[in-house]
Amino acid sequence: MTNPEILKREIQYFVFDLYGTVVDMQKGLTEAVSPFLKSKGWEGKPHSFVTWWRRTHFENSMIDALCDRGHTPYRQIGHRAVSHVMDRAGISYTQEEVFWLVSQIEKLKPFPDAQSALGHLQERYKLAILSNGDRDMLEAAQPHIGIPFDKIISVQEAGYFKPHWKTYATAEKILDVDRSSILFVANHAFDCVGAKSYGMRSAFIDRRRRPFGEWPQEPDLMVSDLKELSELLV
């Protein structure tokens, strides 16, 4: 771990993952799918449906990046993931329903601590988003996020999903600051590992109280939420 006083001296930009770090993806999507699944007569747990959806989406996005045959839009990956999960659950559906379910990602609300914590951080630093979401999805999400970031960057600019190194390199170029002056913040270990591997500093938001894992690219900070992060670094 890095001394917070050193980070306060050297960091210029905070770069945040969006889904699951700033906005509560699990809760928001569970609330959205619950009435839909009930209308379909599905007796499983909506929370489990969303977990399957997110895991399938993550796996498919990693496959897309590794195949290196051109970037598939996040929305399209989402359509495939939702369709797969509904097939797995034995739910009949239309493509319009798939489209509607994926569109709910654009309406996700921030975690309760996010707005005040990020406002506190903006007193000292510039803030950006680096997200796997498509450009238009991130634009549509801004009114629901309610936080004025200095930059919102889609991995679409790099042509790869995180944690491919080109996503972090593209963010560095767009922000026009040295990678060592960026603190990348995520609720996902893989994202922190990717940023750290590229040479950025990283902070792991351990909302789910899970071990980071035995990666050599350990984060500079591990905190329970964004509130704790802001208290440490402002």
> Do 114 and 12 fall within a single domain?
yes
**DSSP classification of residue 24:** -
SS3 content of the chain, % helix, strand, coil (to 5): 55, 15, 35
Rounded CA gap, 209 and 11, in Å? Answer: 26
The count of domains in the chain is 2
Contact 222, 113 (CB under 8 A): no
- Supply the CATH number for residue 175's domain: 3.40.50.1000
Whether residue 123 is found in the same domain as residue 19: yes
What is the pTM for the complete model shown? Answer: 0.94
Alpha-carbon Rg of the chain, whole angstroms?
18
Q: Residues 59-64: what's their mean pLDDT?
A: 97
Instruction: Specify the pLDDT at position 227.
Output: 96
Pairing of strands 221-223, 201-205: parallel
Q: Are residues 32 and 97 in the same domain?
A: yes
The mean per-residue pLDDT over the stretch 126-146 comes to 95
Same-domain check for residues 140 and 225: yes
pLDDT (mean) for 200-223: 93
Q: How far is CA 24 from CA 40, 184, 188, in A?
A: 25, 18, 13
Domain around 224: 4-24+108-233
Is the domain of 46 the same as that of 145? no
Say whether both 159 and 50 belong to one domain. no
What would the pLDDT profile of 176-194 be if each residue is shown by its tens digit? 999 999 999 999 999 999 9
- 106, 141, 168 - which closes a domain: 106
